[in-house]
């Protein structure tokens, strides 16, 4: 039996899919084949109609101008990567070519903090690392861009809005800084300024 939280996420996913299906020329959609993997359809994303969409990362926008738009930091329903965090973490691991089970090899735990904008149209943009750069960070950032189609947008009063998402990925590397596993991720929030 599914938990209430899982049921709410499923309802949210169905609701947002319905909203985005209303205008396929503006909103990217994602087709779901029988095996359950989400693969963006080039036609449904509208690459010819939207030349600013990168063909290597179809749901990542490289240069989006947010002048005149509100980008939220806190909202009613925040953006999430698909229906379950474990599924998203597995997709990132698969993109990086990592083993499903963590190797027995002893490694060094590390983390990467990033921030990006999840647009109201389910696209990601403005992805940048917040923590000091390390050699393996570029691989993780590329994996996030390649799996950008999995994100559901933030909602305010039931309407999709732009949202600045901040998250930290925890991973394990060997002595040569090769990534052994992606262990977890969590969302974090910028501390509010004191009056």
Closest CA to 143 of 60, 63, 28: 60
The confidence band for 45, taking pLDDT boundaries of 50, 70 and 90, is very low
- Per the structure block, which two tokens stand in for 172? 């394990």
Closest CA to 148 of 59, 88, 31: 59
pTM for this prediction: 0.69
Of the two residues 23 and 107, the one the predictor is more confident about is 107
So what's the pLDDT on residue 31?
39
Distance CA 160, CA 16 (A): 8
């Amino acid at each position: 039996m599914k938990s209430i939280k899982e049921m709410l996420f499923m309802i949210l996913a169905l609701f947002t899919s319905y909203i985005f299906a209303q205008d396929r020329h503006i909103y990217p959609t994602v087709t779901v084949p029988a095996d359950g993997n989400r693969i963006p359809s080039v036609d449904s994303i509208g690459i010819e109609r939207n030349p600013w969409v990168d063909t290597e990362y179809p749901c990542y926008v490289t240069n989006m101008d947010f002048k005149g738009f509100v980008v939220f930091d806190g909202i009613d329903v925040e953006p999430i990567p698909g229906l379950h965090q474990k599924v998203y973490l597995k997709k990132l691991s698969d993109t990086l070519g990592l083993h499903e089970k963590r190797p027995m090899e002893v490694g060094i735990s590390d983390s990467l903090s990033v921030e990006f904008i999840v647009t109201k149209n389910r696209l990601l943009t403005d992805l940048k690392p917040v923590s000091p750069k390390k050699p393996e960070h570029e691989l993780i950032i590329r994996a996030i861009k390649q799996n950008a189609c999995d994100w559901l947008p933030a909602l305010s009063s039931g309407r999709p809005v732009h949202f600045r998402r901040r998250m930290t990925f925890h991973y394990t590397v060997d002595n040569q800084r090769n990534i052994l596993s992606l262990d977890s991720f969590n969302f974090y929030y910028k501390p509010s300024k004191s009056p």
